[in-house]
Structure 1
Amino acid sequence: MIQPYQFNLIEEQIFQLVRTYQSVNDPQTIQTIEGMTKDVVVRQFNPQDDQALLIINEMFQRGLSIKKAEAHLSDLKTYVEPFPAPTIKQTEKLFRKVKKLKVPDFDDFDLQETTYLAWDDIGSQSKYLIATENEGYTAVHGHLSTEVKKGICPICQHESNVSMFLSLTKSSGDGTYTKRGNYICRDSQRCNQQLTDQAHLAEFLKLVKMKEN
């Protein structure tokens, strides 16, 4: 099984390969790019995932088109492990300092495309994020600006419509609080679909996560 962000990376690599097949004529160049792409893709899987590797091999054909690639990727998506959505009680515990927390129905999310759960509370202009960490969860919430602009999201590393997310972070020792944040994707679903490296998400959460007593 693979994680949603790994599937996104595979999808990105395969579509780049299709563009190579369509635009490059030099056999040596194609062979080099094929080798590099296959190395990245195969490394996402356990060597024991024989059926998944068979699907991958089908994609490395010189006549591969976008339509064929999408069909193979659809088959490969069955190997994606869905995000383990928390229960309502777990969610309330993660945000225990939030009064009148509005928990969405996580069944409405495509959990096979979810590396982190996120939703907005328009009434309070707040955004909530939940990610997995050490077989449990880590979570953060903060204010989301109504201003939207073009920028690079630090979570998915893609240019998107972004808004400023700010959370209160407790300064160590002196009991004071500071606001920390960055411009992130306004559309968290799209951000999840573009995320190919979980490390960027971890770095962002480390920056903005509230330090508890």
Structure 2
Amino acid sequence: MEFLTVANYRLLTRQITKLLNALSTSKDKDVIAAVKGLIETDLRAALPQTDQTDTIVHQLHQVTDRTDADLFLHAVKSYVIPFKAPTAEDLKKLFKKEKRLRIPPLQSYDWKEVTCLSWKDGGTHRQYFVIEQEGKWKTLQGVTKVDTLKGVCRICRQHTLVNLFTATVRGKTEDTFTSYSHYICEDPAVCNSNLDNAEQIHTFIFENQQNK
């Protein structure tokens, strides 16, 4: 049964990396047990409280090396709810004001690894976001600067290469507009892979379209 979000899966991936790092740097059983205890606490706080979660936590405790980790993550992926895949026509309707919308290569996505569908148009420097919330798509679009620098992404909260993204929305009164600018990951794919909490992207999109 699929019950994990893609963000849950990213969190599991990150916790497995933490465990592997501990296993590679320490042979102290107490240290390893402490790390596993912290990981279990984080997972039980973030994952749905189900019998499947108990099974996942138990299996994670059995991981001893990279091979075990890969097998574990492969098995867990079967529990992941995939992103609701849009068609090219869906995207054209979602961004109907964009007459020359550049459609991303939808056939190349693994939808069990997508929390937010985001892509750039290199010609116009526009960036587009699509998320799914309560069975409906929510969107955001804006313009990114070409220049990049090292910083913390407003969306995934990780330290990486970022550039300035600006979204302009209609204000609360006629003929007024408000712009919101944030530094976000220069590469949308990197940002997506960093997201282990879906609320971060939902909050970002809501905050930047709040006057719509």
* CA distance, structure 1, for counterparts of residue 137 and residue 59 of structure 2: 37
Secondary structure of 2:123's counterpart equals helix
Please identify, of 107-116 and 20-29, the stretch whose mean Cα deviation from structure 2 is larger. Answer: 20-29
Summarize the alignment of residues 18-29 of structure 1 with structure 2, pairs less than 5 Å apart.
18-24=20-26, 26-29=28-31
Q: Structure 1, residues 157-177: CA drift from partner, whole Å, max 9, x if none?
A: 111111111111222124311
With normalisation by structure 1, the TM-score equals 0.87
Of stretches 30-39 and 105-114 in structure 1, the one that deviates more from structure 2 is: 30-39
Aligned residues: 209
Partner in structure 2 of residue 6 of structure 1: 8
Identify the residue that residue 202 of structure 1 maps to in structure 2: 202
CA–CA distance in structure 2, aligned partners of residues 185 and 134 of structure 1: 26
Cα distance in 1, alignment partners of residues 11 and 42 from structure 2 = 9
Cα-to-partner distance string for 1:44-66 (whole Å, 9 max, x where unaligned): 245243xx7545423313x7123
| Range 52-61 or range 114-123, more displaced | 52-61
User: Does the CA contact (< 8 Å) of 1:152 and 1:160 recur in 2?
Assistant: yes
CA distances 1:98-154 after superposition (whole Å, capped 9, x unpaired): 222122231212211110001111111111110012210100111111111111111
Q: Which residue of structure 2 lines up, in the alignment, with residue 47 of structure 1? A: 50
Structure 1 segment 1-213 matched on structure 2, within 5 A:
1-24=3-26, 26-42=28-44, 44-49=47-52, 53-54=54-55, 56-61=57-62, 64-209=64-209, 211-212=211-212
- What percentage of residue pairs aligned between the two structures are identical? 25
Q: Distance in 2 between matches of 1:24 and 1:124?
A: 50
Cα 1:23/1:105, change in 2 over 3 Å: closer
**Paired amino acid for 1:60:** H
C-alpha deviations, 1:32-53, integer Å up to 9, x for none?
Answer: 332231233355245243xx75
Match of 1:101, SS state, is coil
Letter in 1 for 2:170: K
* Distance (Å, rounded) in 2 between the aligned partners of 1:80 and 1:199: 17
Q: Extract unaligned runs of 5+ from structure 1.
A: none
Q: Distance in 2 between matches of 1:102 and 1:150?
A: 28
Partner Cα separation in structure 1 for residue 181 and residue 83 of structure 2: 24
RMSD, aligned α-carbons: 2.1
Give secondary structure in 2 for the equivalent of 1:124.
coil
Q: 2 CA distance for matches of 1:211 and 1:106? A: 30
- Rounded Cα–Cα distance in structure 2 between residues aligned with 1:182 and 1:85: 27
Question: Which ranges in structure 2 are unaligned for 5 or more consecutive residues?
Answer: none
List per-residue Cα deviations over 1:169-202 (Å, max 9, x = no partner).
2221243112212111111111111111111112
